[in-house]
Amino acid sequence: MTPKQEEAIFKKLDELRIELPSWAFANTGTRFGKFIDASAATTIEEKLADAAEVNRFTGCCPSVAVHVLWDFPNGVESAAPAAQAAEKLGVRIGSVSPNVFQDQEYKYGSLANPSADIRKKALDHILDSIAIAKAAGSRDITPWFTDGSNYPGTAHMRQHKRWFEAGLRTAHEALSPDQRLLIEYKPFEPAVYHTDIADWGMALVLAKAAGNQAKVLVDTGHHYQTQNIEQIVAWLLDENMLGGFHLNDRRFADDDLTLGSIDPYQVFRIFHEICFFEWEQGRPADVAIMVDQSHNLKPKAEEMLQTVMMAQNIFAKAAIVDHARLTREQAACNLIDAEECMQDAFQTDVRPVVEEWRRMRGLAANPLKAFRESGYLSRVIAERAGRAQAVSSYA
Ligand code: PSV
Ligand code: MN
């Protein structure tokens, strides 16, 4: 490791902020059932407390993404108290996701429901979510839509697109100048024939129709098996249309597995596109790095620590790609040498430097180990005994 590489890693780690999802600390499962974790959080206060512990040990997770219905049952009234609770714990409320998919009314869709009344209900909920985000001091509104259909011929796809354009445009008008609307796409599930916002192209078209504060959100699990996600990222960066990520890993579908647990090189290639862009531009990309995972079997806070450490390690690897050399080898069509630039970085063991960075910032060299030694888990298990059974989200 050269001093220049060490410096590049330190700079990247200093910049890197990773947003944790509130729903990752709650009991979750599959449609076949849920396995209860005695340490799982059941209230927004508990979710914030767990996220704050992850932030305490990693120093890079200052914000928590929320889902309105799961976290703010009293709507906008819940926003200020939650923001205050977060502040006390040294974190803040991050992106706000409306829930326009689980109420009975949304059986046939939300913003693209054939019923004008239900389209209005969905829009009103999104407008409430924007108001909640304002009250909680958060920048990004991150709607995810399940609208689509299960059988050919049952939905007017062009009409759905126009309803989405109209709804998102109205939502965009309600943003304050510093807020953003991030449009997430997903090819299937729960709809299994067509999904209205199925891929990055559709999300891009809708974001452009909504207005210039709308960008695309890339959830890494929301792609077909062989799709080249890093190319999508490169194009969105070049178009200034990449708003953020929902990071996770996948094997079969949207499995919400731990980042890098299946294919760390894929994560590296995505992070490389960000670092390469930043090197060319000479400034950090304005991209929200959020985690979206469901830990059905692993202990929740520990899994989040594992995820954050994985993200830091892979970002550190991406930060030491020799961009100048890579650019030269690409221009000369030196295929092996260009690829070696990637492999040299990917195969470097960056962990000692990442640990050194933590020590220099007053953090434990191994956050997971330090968390385990802190006794937090046994404390919350005792406190939450008997209560964790009651509540769970659908994530
Ligand atoms: C849907 O699969 C999704 O990726 C959306 O981002 C939701 O907000 C999240 O998962 C939680 O279920
Ligand atoms: Mn997501």
pLDDT value at residue 90: 98
Pairing of strands 148-149, 194-195: antiparallel
pLDDT confidence of residue 29: 87
Q: Is the CB of 129 under 6 A from ligand 1?
A: no
What is the dihedral sign for C-alpha 249, 252, 255, 257? negative
> Which residue type occupies 194?
H
How far, in Å, is the centroid of ligand 2 from the Cα of 66? Answer: 12
Helices (H), 137-222: 157-173, 200-210
What does the pLDDT average to over 88-107?
97
Distance of CA 9 to the CA centre of its chain: 22
Whether 102 has a pLDDT exceeding 90, the answer reads yes
- In this structure, the residue with its CA closest to atom 7 of ligand 1 is 144
3-state secondary structure of 288: strand
**Residue 61 · residue 106 · CB < 8 Å:** no
Longest CA–CA separation in the chain, Å: 65
**Residue 394 above 80 pLDDT?**
no
Q: What is the mean pLDDT of residues 311-318?
A: 98
Pocket lining: 141 vs ligand 1, CB cutoff 6 Å = no
* Ligand 1 and 219: CB distance under 6 A: yes
- Dihedral sign, Cα of residue 31, residue 23, residue 251, residue 103: positive
Given ligand 1 and candidates 246, 254, 291, which is best to mutate, with the most ligand atoms within 8 Å of its CB? 246
Measured in Å, residue 96 CA sits from the centre of ligand 1 at 12
Cβ of 97 closer than 6 Å to ligand 1, yes or no, is yes
Q: How far apart are CA 118 and CA 374, in angstroms?
A: 49
pLDDT of residue 10: 98
Ligand 1 pocket test: which of 64, 144, 196, 247 has the largest number of ligand atoms within 8 Å of its C-beta? 144
Q: Write the CA distances from 225 to 47, 64, 196, 252, 343, integer angstroms.
A: 32, 29, 20, 7, 23
Ligand 1 close to Cβ of residue 292 (< 6 A): yes
What does the alpha-carbon distance between residue 74 and residue 96 come to, in Å, rounded to a whole number?
14
The chain-wide mean pLDDT, for the chain, equals 96
Residue 74 above 60 pLDDT? Answer: yes
**What is the pLDDT at residue 393?**
57
CB-facing half-sphere around the CA of 197: CA atoms within 13 A: 30
Residue with tokens 């294919």: 263
* pLDDT the model gives residue 388: 53
Mean pLDDT of 166-195: 98
Taking 70 as the threshold, does the pLDDT of residue 390 lie above it?
Answer: no
Q: Is the pLDDT of residue 256 over 90?
A: yes
Q: Amino acid identity of 232?
A: I
CA 280 to centroid of ligand 2, rounded, Å: 29
Q: What is the pLDDT of residues 323-379, one digit of tens each?
A: 999 999 999 999 999 999 999 999 999 999 999 999 999 999 999 999 999 999 999
Residue 295 pLDDT greater than 90, yes or no: no
pLDDT at site 30: 86
Determine the pLDDT at residue 385.
86
pLDDT at 280 > cutoff 60:
yes
Q: How confident is the model at residue 115 (pLDDT cuts 50, 70, 90)?
A: very high
The verdict on whether omega for the bond into residue 367 sits within 30 degrees of 0, i.e. cis, is no
pLDDT given at position 34: 87
How much is the average pLDDT of 246-268? Answer: 97
Q: What percent of the chain has pLDDT over 90?
A: 94
CB within 8 Å of 321: residues ≥ 6 apart: 272, 275, 276, 341, 342, 344, 345
Query: What is residue 33's predicted lDDT score, i.e. its pLDDT?
Result: 87
pLDDT at residue 252 tops 60: yes
At 40, the amino acid letter reads A
Which protein residue's CA is at the shortest distance from atom 3 of ligand 1?
Answer: 144
Is the pTM higher than 0.95?
Answer: yes
| Least-confidence region, from 24-28, 48-52, 235-239 | 24-28
Q: The tokens of 14 are what?
A: 């200093």
State the CB neighbour count (10 A cutoff) for residue 365.
14
Count of alpha carbons within 13 Å of 313, Cβ hemisphere only?
Answer: 22
> How many angstroms separate the CA atoms of 144 and 180, rounded?
14
- Residue that has been written with the tokens 């647990």 in this structure: 261
Average pLDDT over residues 299-317: 98
**Ranges of H-type helices in the chain:** 3-15, 44-58, 68-71, 76-88, 116-136, 157-173, 200-210, 229-238, 264-281, 300-319, 323-331, 335-346, 351-360, 367-374, 376-384
Closest CA to 243 of 233, 258, 253: 233
